[in-house]
Amino acid sequence: MKTWMMMAILSLGASALAERSTINFNEDWRFARFGAMPDGSERAEPEGLESASLDDSQWRSLNVPHDWGIEGPFRDDLPNRTGKLPWAGIGWYRKTVDAPVSDAGKKIFIDFDGAMSDSKVWLNGEYVGEWPYGYSSFRLDLSNHWKPGEKNTIAVRLDNKPESSRWYPGGGIYRNVRLVKTEPVHVDHWGIFVTTPDVSKKEATISIKTEVAGADDHTIILQEIVEAGVQGEGAHLQIKVANPKLWSLESPTLYTLKTTVKQNGIVVDVVETSFGIRTIEYTSEGFFLNGKKVRMNGVCQHHDLGPLGSAINTRAIERQIEILQEMGVNAIRTAHNPPAPELLDLCDRMGILVQVEAFDCWEKSKAPNDYARHFPEWHEKDLRAMIKRDRNHASVVMWSTGNETREMKKKEDAPVSQMLTDIAKSEDSTRPITYGCNAPNAGWNGFQKTTDLFGYNYKPHLYQKFRNVNPMQPFYGSETASTVSSRGEYFFPVSDEKHLGQGGDFQVSSYDLTAPPWANNPDIEFAAQDKYPWVFGEFVWTGFDYIGEPTPYNQDKTNLLNFSDPAERKRMEEELERLGGNIPPRSSYFGIVDLCGFKKDRFYIYQARWRPELPMAHILPHWNWPERIGEVTPVHVYTSGDEAELFLNGKSLGRKRKGEFEYRLRWDDVVYEPGEVKVVAYKDGKIWAEDLQKTTGNSAKLELVADRSEIAADGQDLSFITVRVVDAEGLVVPRSHNSVQFKIEGPGEIIAVGNGDPTSHESFHALERRVFNGLALVVVRSVKGESGSVVVKADSDGLAAGEIEIEVK
Ligand code: GAL
């Protein structure tokens, strides 16, 4: 009987489609929290939560990606630097599925794109593996304990230690999960490596290496480049593509490699890999993509998605990139950890260069419970995982082994860096290795020689000195600016002194002149980039605001690590001391764009520089200052033109021209009177662009504007709705802070609200929100499989209501 059953199963397996199946494993998990609870209490973690027989029916039911921290509440007693949100603690996820009988004889894997953090995984009560680093993607082999024809229960335990990060890490299974079923002979995990060693207009050589698990003499590997219709056979081979369409920023063409594995003549596995054909080269003169010099106009980005937290959503990342591209961004540094794979897919498709970074610390910690705990045992596995996962992305143009690690200042620190470089190169020799360096002397003490590309964080004054010592080494600003501002806040008198903590209510003025002591305003970095054309670009800290690290109101003592100058360090220490206690800020002020994706003024100084062909001008501040009549109220203008004339209520306040190394036009002695301030910008003597700011009337109504009025009924797609408080004429009232209530009807749900105020403790999960300086955000998600019209209504006391309709298809 037993033998017969086995045979039946085997023959079923062989006659059924023998290719791999990749199953989305995101839905219907059960979830419970233990240890530190969101309300500050402690809940004991019982034994045996991994047991197959545990009754978890009372646990909360949810889908992943899920971030348990973003649900809040914001708590005064929690640290500012990690967002004042309850992400620390223990979380268990359990999911039970029926396995078909046809699983017999198959390999069963579970793939996590990321689980925050210290994950441990069981199947049917049996321990199957772990992966501590919350930013790594990993695969576990479930085959030994998988029960075909029965129920199978997967249990995942995550444990977020407090003080394990310098920013908000989030918590939970916050990226996608898949179940992968293959035949015993199959393409190994991340087993394909496509490179393009020779590329010309006429022909490209595509080199393909494939690792197949379980392969023997009867295994055949076939490769096909689908769009080009060319094929080959073998585990290591080269295929030629005639007249290749190159991957470039303007036209990011992608090709598909179809890998087919046959065993004894039967197809057992088919895998598709997307790749691009392009060349990259770094010289002492710059970066070259397909032979063309490209200056990297980059931003650093943390991984959270503002009010959505760290739970990844492809549309939310795509929206971020769209906004960044509108500004002229062509490069992203994934500070300071491996990103969600969807980010790289989007960058491939949208034409963005990426620096993928591995670590924020090595052996020496920056926070008591950070990755330094795991570095000795895990650095190699994590670094290899990062590179193997991401090495086929055309967008990825360099690997970073770390950021401002504490090993850097001394000569003796170089070997750790060299060891990581060697590991990275052993996985991928086609891309250079870099590192974000903030110790001046690491540019000449030997440390610099451990990486191919050298990047300074915040050291424009040292670029030439570095060059004098290392004339041939490609060089860039790995982290720049760190200017701070709150959208729509302006403080007077305006001062060029980049002091900390100015202004009331824990906001920072948006004249874009304020930066912490180690940092600069954008203009200073621009000047260095222009003075030294061999600098291949910059990565501004940061593109978007992120949760945590609300410098200059950060209680984060690790801020002090950023100081090389003892006097500056002492000044910062005193400032933090002075600010002590429970201060409200919980998200950054560094973003060029705020936490909701609303542009701050700074957006336009970058756009003016990075998109010189786009006619644009931007005036700041807004022009609603009833208390400043007769007072000096400086007006600054960002423009891609070279000259501009300012008018106040029709009267010219003079025409100004940008000087050498000048990036903003300033009328610092304007005396405020209500009305209209208008700029006319010129380029080469011709009118180029205009902008104006008008004193508005009182708040009259709510206006709702969606980024997309049609979304897919896939339960994932999002519409980002901007809520504006406007006057009778439709002008946004810049200092309005009205509280707004929302209602939704139809097949959609409001999954988050926000307003970009870094000090607000209002929940992101609510049906109401105060606008911050005129704006708030509502994020609507479709319901899977349900189409129709979604109507969002907004109400606020004393204002005419607003409404918008979104089609879900
Ligand atoms: C850098 C650091 C970043 C962030 C930034 C703030 O030194 O690399 O992670 O902390 O400072 O200015």
CA proximity to 137, closest of 60, 215, 62, 65: 65
Per DSSP, 672 falls in state P
Q: Supply the residue whose CA is at minimum distance from atom 4 of ligand 1.
A: 541
Distance 458 CA to ligand 1 centre (A): 9
* Amino acid making up residue 592: I
Residue located nearest, by CA, to atom 7 of ligand 1: 562
Residue type, 47: E
Task: Provide the token pair at 435.
Answer: 């590192």
Query: What's the start-to-end Cα distance of the chain, in Å?
Result: 52
Q: Are 760 and 307 in contact (CB under 8 A)?
A: no
Ligand 1 atom with least separation from CA of 336: 9
Q: What is the pTM of this model?
A: 0.96
- Inside any domain, residue 592: no
Q: How many CB atoms lie within 10 A of CB 662?
A: 14
CA distances from 614 to 325, 530, 621, 640 (A): 13, 19, 22, 7
Q: Which residues are catalytic?
A: 404, 479
Give the residue, out of 541, 554, 564, with the most ligand 1 atoms within 8 A of its beta carbon, to mutate for a pocket test: 541
For residue 510, the CA-to-ligand 1 centroid distance in Å is 20
Confirm if 730 and 703 have CB atoms less than 8 A apart: yes
Mark 380-403 as b/e (b = at least 16 C-beta within 10 Å): ebbbbbbbbbbbbbbbbbbbbbbb
Domain boundary, last residue among 209, 242, 275? 275
Residue with tokens 């970066």: 287
| Closest residue CA from atom 1 of ligand 1 | 562
| Distance from Cα 113 to the centre of ligand 1, integer Å | 25
Answer whether residue 137 is part of any domain. yes
Q: 376, 426, 349, 20: which is closest to 213 by C-alpha?
A: 20
Longest dimension (CA), the chain: 99
**319 and 270 within one domain:** no
| Partners of 803 in the β-ladder | 793
Q: Which tokens go with 776?
A: 């708030």
Spatial separation of the C-alpha atoms in residues 557 and 623, rounded to whole Å: 38
Measured CA to CA, the distance from residue 72 to residue 533 in angstroms comes to 47
Task: Name the residue at shortest CA distance from atom 6 of ligand 1.
Answer: 482
Same domain? For 617 and 663 the reply is yes
- For the record, the structure tokens of 179 come out as 């179940």
CATH number of the domain that 718 lies in?
A: 2.60.40.10
Do 313 and 441 fall into the same domain? yes
| Structural contact between residues 241 and 258, judged by C-beta atoms closer than 8 angstroms | no
Instruction: Verify that 321 and 218 share a domain, yes or no.
Output: no
Q: How far is ligand 1, taken at its centre, from the CA of residue 212, in Å?
A: 42
Distance separating alpha carbons of residues 399 and 779, to the nearest angstrom: 34
Whether residue 308 sits in one domain with residue 227:
no
* CB count in 10 Å sphere of residue 354: 24
Rounded distance between C-alpha atoms, residue 663 and residue 131, angstroms: 47
Q: Are 635 and 644 in contact (CB under 8 A)?
A: no
Q: Is residue 460 part of a domain?
A: yes
Omega before residue 585 within 30° of 0, cis: no
Alpha carbons 168 and 586: distance in angstroms, whole number: 9
Pocket test for ligand 1, best of 404, 480, 538 (most atoms within 8 A of CB): 404
Residue 9 in any domain: the answer is no
Tell me which residue of 362, 435, 354 sits closest to 397, measured CA to CA. 354
Is-contact 724 777, C-beta < 8 A? Answer: no
Ligand 1 atom with the smallest distance to the CA of 516 is: 12
Helices 314-327 & 341-350, crossing angle to 10 degrees?
40
Q: Rounded to the nearest 10 degrees, how much is the dihedral formed by the CA atoms of 351, 722, 677, 636?
A: -50
State how far the alpha carbon of 25 is from the alpha carbons of 92, 110, 154, 270, 751, in Å. 16, 9, 11, 20, 21
DSSP state of 61: E
Q: Are 324 and 543 in contact (CB under 8 A)?
A: yes
Q: Is the dihedral of CA 372, 376, 377, 378 positive or negative?
A: positive
With residues binned 3-state (H G I as helix, E B as strand, rest as coil), the percentages for the chain, rounded to 5, are 20, 35, 45
> Cβ atoms within 10 A of the Cβ of 264, count?
10
Sign of CA dihedral 142, 145, 151, 157: negative
- How far away, in angstroms, is 46 Cα from ligand 1 center? 39
Ligand 1 center from residue 303 Cα (angstroms): 14
Distance 590 CA to ligand 1 centre (A): 10
The answer on 206 and 192 residing in a single domain is yes
Q: Are residues 86 and 176 in the same domain?
A: yes
Identify which of 276, 265, 258, 304 has the alpha carbon closest to the alpha carbon of residue 87. Answer: 304
Residue range(s) defining the domain that contains residue 166: 19-182
Q: How far is CA 2 from the centre of its chain?
A: 53
Query: What is the CATH number for 153?
Result: 2.60.120.260
Specify the residue with its C-alpha closest to ligand 1, atom 12.
482
Contact criterion met (CB below 8 Å) for 221 and 208: no
On the CB side of 191, CA atoms within 13 Å amount to 21
| Residue 170 to residue 304: CA distance in whole angstroms | 8
Distance between CA atoms of 229 and 243, rounded to whole angstroms?
A: 12
Domain shared by 157 and 222, yes or no: no
**Mean pLDDT per segment of 10 residues, for the chain of length 809 residues?**
36 52 98 98 98 97 98 94 97 98 97 98 98 98 98 98 98 98 98 97 97 97 98 97 98 98 96 98 98 98 98 98 99 98 98 98 96 98 98 98 90 91 98 97 95 98 98 98 96 79 74 92 98 98 97 76 72 76 89 98 98 98 98 98 98 98 98 98 98 98 97 98 98 98 98 98 98 98 98 98 98
Q: Does residue 8 form part of some domain?
A: no
In a domain, residue 397? The reply is: yes
Instruction: Say yes or no: 345 and 449 in one domain.
Output: yes
Are 249 and 133 contained in the same domain? no
User: Which atom of ligand 1 lies nearest, measured to the CA of 518?
Assistant: 12
Domain total in the chain: 5
Question: In angstroms, what is the C-alpha Rg of the chain?
Answer: 28
CA 166–ligand 1 middle distance (angstroms): 9
- The amino acid present at 112, given as its one-letter code, is F
Token pair for 530 = 């222009």
Ligand 1 geometric centre to CA of 451 (Å)? 20
Opening angle at CA 284, ends 280 and 286, nearest 5? 50
3-state secondary structure of 708: coil
Handedness of CA 730, 732, 733, 737 (dihedral sign): positive
CA of 83 to the centre of ligand 1 (A): 15
**What is the distance between the alpha carbons of residues 670 and 35, in angstroms, rounded to a whole number?**
57
316 plus 444 within the same structural domain: yes
Rounded alpha-carbon distances, angstroms, from residue 597 to 482, 603, 734, 764: 18, 11, 17, 14
Q: Determine the Cα–Cα distance for residues 147 and 585; give it in Å rounded to an integer.
A: 50
Q: List the one residue out of 184, 103, 109 whose CA is nearest residue 151.
A: 103
Using the 8-state DSSP alphabet, how is residue 96 labeled? E
Residue with CA closest to ligand 1 atom 11: 562
Pocket of ligand 1 (CB under 6 A): 403-404, 438, 457, 479, 482, 516, 519, 541, 549, 551, 562
**Which of 303, 479, 514, 563 most suits a substitution to test ligand 1, by most atoms within 8 Å of the C-beta?**
479
Within 8 A by CB and 6+ apart from 328, the residues are 297, 606, 607, 609, 610, 611, 614
In a domain, 684, yes or no: yes
Specify if 686 maps to a domain: yes
Which of 483, 562, 569, 576 to mutate for ligand 1's pocket (most ligand atoms within 8 Å of CB)?
A: 562
Q: Whose CA is nearest to atom 10 of ligand 1?
A: 559
Please report, for the domain that includes residue 568, its CATH number.
Answer: 3.20.20.80
What's the CA-to-centroid distance between 123 and ligand 1, angstroms? 40
Q: How far apart are CA 384 and CA 425, in angstroms?
A: 10
Q: Which of 133, 535, 655 is nearest to 357 (CA)?
A: 133
Do 40 and 53 sit in the same domain of this protein?
yes
- What residues contact 215, with CB distance under 8 A and at least 6 apart? 185, 221, 235, 261
Of 229, 247, 275, the position where a domain reaches its end is 275
Show which of 694, 709, 743 is a domain's final residue: 694
